[in-house]
């Protein structure tokens, strides 16, 4: 901690749960303003969730050490699994340890939504396993952008890949960008099938049409939901177990708890944000600045966010970047080719150095991440 920084207020116990994109942003944002904070995460290595499809394809990522980054910042890092939250006592349980809080930032991210389809939990591989897929004959279930990125990455690595889902791959993109994405998938050898997966077996997926697809490995990329922890604790959650927040990102049922990133149901004028790093980091910045405002006796401000882009990798040699309106719908502008590969890589690499910058210059996070694309009006 720099000696010139002043300690703010008497609200001593600030605890951030989860050191992903949103939780790290919140913790360094708070610490950078001179306030002590405890950060809890299961593991000392930062998980670059944006790159889990690369891990599935067998690529080695750099080992990013959270304690090393936080050394000397005033953040106490606790490596452990959060087992429960006692909202009445204002404590969290981490293994044998009980940690008290005055303000809690709930940033535990999401878990793959595996419950709805029989067989997924038993047989499917999920990207959260953060390991390489060993079998080279794979069906990727889910035609959202995560499924598309995973299928492309595996195909480029030599897997035989079938990509299956209800929607057309790239449905979120404008017609030209979508056509480009589908052309690259074809060139990589990805076979696309349309349909709803209704059952997963060890070596087969069953579609609503009755069609079956044989495979060596099923990969489930069928969406994300919040962990069960928030509901179990008694926080108000939505149908996807995300903590329902007020306009300032505080839990509507327990305003001493801020919820950020994928773990939060954050409503904007155009609807509830879908989990992205793009929106998660601004929510972390907002929670940090709001807590600091509270310490100064001020009310937290309203959170406002607008999307800017949807960068999609298609293996290491191709990418497409769709620029968007603040509500996430596609604009006419888009990028492909080498400039898109460079753009996507730049965006994926940005968070870790930006945490470092925020440790030294807290306002840098506010400038870069506070508002995401731009305000919605």
Ligand X SMILES: Cc1cc2nc3c(=O)[nH]c(=O)nc-3n(C[C@H](O)[C@H](O)[C@H](O)COP(=O)(O)OP(=O)(O)OC[C@H]3O[C@@H](n4cnc5c(N)ncnc54)[C@H](O)[C@@H]3O)c2cc1C
Question: Which is nearer to ligand X, 33 or 51 (by Cβ)?
Answer: 51
CB 303 within 8 A of CB 359: no
Is the Cα dihedral 59, 65, 69, 73 positive or negative?
A: positive
Non-local (6+) Cβ contacts of 98 within 8 A are 91, 92
Looking at beta carbons only, is 210 or 353 nearer to ligand X?
353
Token code pair at residue 221? 């990329």
Judged by phi (left if over 0) then psi (alpha if -120 to 50, else beta), residue 135 lies in beta
Question: Least separation, in Å, of the C-beta of 55 and ligand X?
Answer: 9
Q: Residues in the site for ligand X, rule: CB under 6 A?
A: 18-23, 40-42, 47, 49-50, 52-53, 81-82, 107-109, 127, 146, 149, 227, 229, 261-263, 275-278, 280, 311
Matching residue, tokens 């449905």: 171
How far from 4 is each of 7, 25, 34, 245, 293, CA to CA, in Å?
Answer: 10, 22, 9, 35, 19
Q: How far is the CB of 365 from ligand X (least distance, A)?
A: 14
- Shortest distance in whole angstroms from residue 296 CB to ligand X: 26
Is the torsion defined by CA of 38, 41, 46, 51 positive or negative? negative
Q: How many helices (H) and strands (E) does the chain have?
A: 11, 25
Task: Between 42 and 349, name the residue whose CB sits nearer to ligand X.
Answer: 42
> 107 or 200, CB closer to ligand X?
107
Query: What's the closest the beta carbon of residue 42 comes to ligand X, in angstroms?
Result: 4
Closer to ligand X by CB, 33 or 309: give it: 309
CB of 52 or CB of 218, closer to ligand X: 52
Q: How far is the CB of 275 from ligand X (least distance, A)?
A: 4
Q: Going by DSSP bridges, is the β-strand pair 319-324/330-336 parallel, antiparallel, or unpaired?
A: antiparallel
- Rounded CA separation 116/135 (Å): 25
Residue whose Cβ sits closest to ligand X: 20
Smallest gap from residue 5 Cβ to ligand X (A) = 26
Provide the minimum distance between the beta carbon of 94 and ligand X in the complex, in angstroms, as a whole number: 7
Give 275 or 326: the residue with its C-beta nearer to ligand X.
Answer: 275
User: Alpha-carbon distance 244 to 225, whole Å?
Assistant: 13
For the record, the structure tokens of 284 come out as 């972390």
């Amino acid at each position: 901690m720099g000696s010139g920084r002043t300690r703010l207020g008497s609200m001593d116990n600030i605890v951030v749960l989860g050191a992903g994109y949103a939780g790290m942003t919140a913790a360094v944002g708070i610490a950078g303003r001179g306030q002590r904070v405890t950060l809890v995460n299961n593991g000392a290595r930062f998980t670059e969730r944006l790159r889990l499809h690369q891990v599935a394809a067998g690529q080695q990522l750099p080992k990013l050490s959270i304690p090393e980054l936080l050394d000397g910042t005033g953040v106490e890092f606790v490596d452990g699994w959060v087992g429960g939250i006692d909202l009445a006592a204002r404590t969290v349980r981490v293994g044998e340890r009980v940690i008290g809080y005055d303000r809690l930032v709930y940033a535990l991210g999401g878990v793959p939504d595996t419950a709805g389809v029989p067989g997924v939990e038993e047989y499917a591989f999920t990207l959260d396993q953060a390991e390489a897929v060993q079998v080279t004959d794979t069906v990727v279930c889910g035609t959202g952008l995560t499924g598309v990125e995973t299928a492309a990455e595996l195909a480029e690595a030599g897997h035989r890949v079938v990509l299956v889902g209800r929607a057309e791959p790239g449905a979120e993109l404008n017609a030209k960008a979508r056509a480009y994405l589908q052309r690259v998938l074809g060139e990589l050898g990805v076979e696309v099938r349309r349909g709803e997966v209704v059952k997963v077996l060890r070596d087969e997926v069953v579609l609503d049409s009755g069609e079956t697809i044989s495979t060596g490995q099923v990969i489930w990329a069928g969406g994300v939901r919040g962990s069960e922890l928030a509901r179990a604790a008694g926080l108000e959650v939505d149908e996807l177990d995300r903590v329902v927040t007020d306009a300032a990102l505080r839990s509507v049922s327990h305003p001493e708890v801020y919820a950020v990133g994928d773990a939060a149901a954050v409503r904007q004028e155009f609807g509830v944000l879908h989990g992205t790093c793009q929106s998660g980091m601004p929510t972390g910045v907002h929670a940090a600045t709001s807590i600091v405002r509270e310490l100064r006796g001020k009310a937290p401000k309203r959170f406002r966010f607008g999307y800017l882009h949807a960068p999609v990798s298609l293996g290491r040699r191709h990418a497409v970047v769709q620029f968007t309106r603040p509500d996430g719908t596609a604009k006419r502008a888009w990028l492909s080719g080498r400039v898109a590969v460079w753009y996507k890589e730049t965006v994926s690499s940005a968070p870790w150095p930006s945490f470092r910058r925020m440790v030294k210059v807290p306002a840098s996070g506010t400038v870069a991440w506070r508002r995401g694309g731009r305000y919605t009006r």
